[in-house]
Structure formats: structure tokens, C-alpha cells
Amino acid sequence: MLNGQLSTGLVQVVAPGTGEVLGYAYTVPNGGGQLQRWLLYRNPQNTFDVVAPPAEMARWTLADWKANVPSLWRPDAYYVWAQADTYEYGRTYRHEYDGGHYETQWDQIPADLPAANYPSEGSRYQLDPTGWNVINVLQWASNLWGMAWAEDGLRDAAAAPTGRARNREYWFLPAGFQPAGGDRRTSVAVGTLEAGSLDRFVDLARQRWAPGAVLTITGCCNYFNAEPPAMP
């Protein structure tokens, strides 16, 4: 089962065409998906590629990542803690609510989506809302494309007096899609397909919902500052 959008370990984030290094992300499996840590030198505004890291960084552990964030940091960079929970076609998931729980089999995407879970790290506090168009997620090696939708975004952290904000992301990834990074170059860019709302985005995902497909619901805690965040 695909447990999230990214390969575990370190990946590099670059600008399409120019190869400008936009930052890095470090991912570990966590709960029903993965916990991602992104360091971004600027807001990529929904346009970036995820590729393998430089050879000298490829074997970094999480401890290496935390130790090196201060030296990688640039003033007014972004740091994002993101919990990506993945729901696969046909599986049954337990959903908690106040006072109880219920179970849902995902033969279809349910009308009431599970709430995004936010990481405990950075909870005091990659994508931005487009307002209308779906964000395309293209995997070059297999020519597979998924879709993403954002509610709030990085720009909110930059505008906030505290430099901290939260947002939610929804990623539809088709059967055969592999975690981004390594030899799986993956491009993210705003497309021409119109949605206009989360409900409409989910309707579009339902049209492609099939065995092997997943919907990943990601809760992000975004940090924007001249200095790097504390590394818990």
C-alpha cells in the first residue's frame, strides 16, 4: 500500500526547468501514513519537482536531518510538519469521534471525509489554495497523474504575525503511483481542470476512484521565520 506522497528518508525539491533547489523534505512512516518535514527556501506556489537528494545526503537519518537543519536554513524560509493519512480503495478504516467510533469501507470516497490530523511537533505552529483549478501531480517514469487540492496554505504563515499557520491538503493518487523521490521524479503544477471547491475536487476524485487508488489527507503546521525552528 502507498503510505503517502513521498519516499521515506530524504528527497530534494527543485524548480522545474531551472533545477533551482527550493528545499528538502524528510519523511518517516507514521500512524496511518507518514510524517513529513519540509524545509523550503521560498513558497514554490504549487510548482515544483520532487527528486532524489544529492549523493552526500542520500543516507541521512532523521537525527542527521535535525542536526543539519540549522546549517541548511536561510532567512525567511518555511518549515512544515505534515501528517499525511492515506486511505486506499476498498479498505475499511476506523474513524474516531467524540464518544465513539464508526467504520467505513472505502469502495467509494465517503461524503464525510475524515478530519486532517496535525502533527504534535510544531503544532503551536507546500501547497497553496488555487481558488479554482486542480493541482496536477505528474509522475514522469510511468506517465501517471494525480490531483491535489489545498485549503489555506504557506502564504498564510508568511502573513501571520506569529509566522505560524495551519493548512489542509487533499491528494488523489492513482493505482501504480509510487512515492516521489529517488528515480520517481514527480512534478506538481496548477493544471487547467477546474474544481472551485473541496466538494467538487472530491467529485473529480470519485470519477477516478478504482482499485489501488488512494486519497491522502494531510494536516500541515507551517513555520515562517528568519531563524530555524526548534528541532524536537
The number of beta carbons lying within 10 Å of the beta carbon of residue 218 is 27
Confidence of residue 232 (pLDDT cuts 50, 70, 90): low
- The pLDDT value recorded for residue 91 is 96
Q: Predicted confidence band at 124 (pLDDT cuts at 50, 70, 90)?
A: very low
Per-residue pLDDT averaged across 64-82, rounded? Answer: 96
The pLDDT tens digits of the residues spanning 74-121 come to: 999 999 999 999 999 999 998 777 777 778 999 999 998 999 999 876
202 contacts: CB under 8 Å, gap ≥ 6: 109, 113, 170
Q: What average pLDDT does the chain have?
A: 92
**Per-residue confidence (pLDDT) for residue 121, from 0 to 100:** 63
- Which pLDDT band, with edges at 50, 70 and 90, does 213 fall under? very high
Taking the domains of the chain in order of start, what are their residue ranges?
Answer: 9-225
Residue written as grid cell 480503495: 89
Tell me the average pLDDT across 172-198: 92
Higher pLDDT, 232 or 21: 21
Q: What average pLDDT does range 123-135 have in this prediction?
A: 77
pLDDT of the residue at 125: 44
What is the pLDDT at residue 158? 86
What is the chain's length?
A: 232
Give CA separation, 170 vs 87, 98, 139, 199, 214, in Å: 11, 24, 17, 11, 10
Is 133:190 a contact under the CB 8 Å cutoff?
yes
pLDDT at 122 over 60: no
% of the chain residues with pLDDT over 90: 75
Is the pLDDT confidence value at 65 over 50?
yes
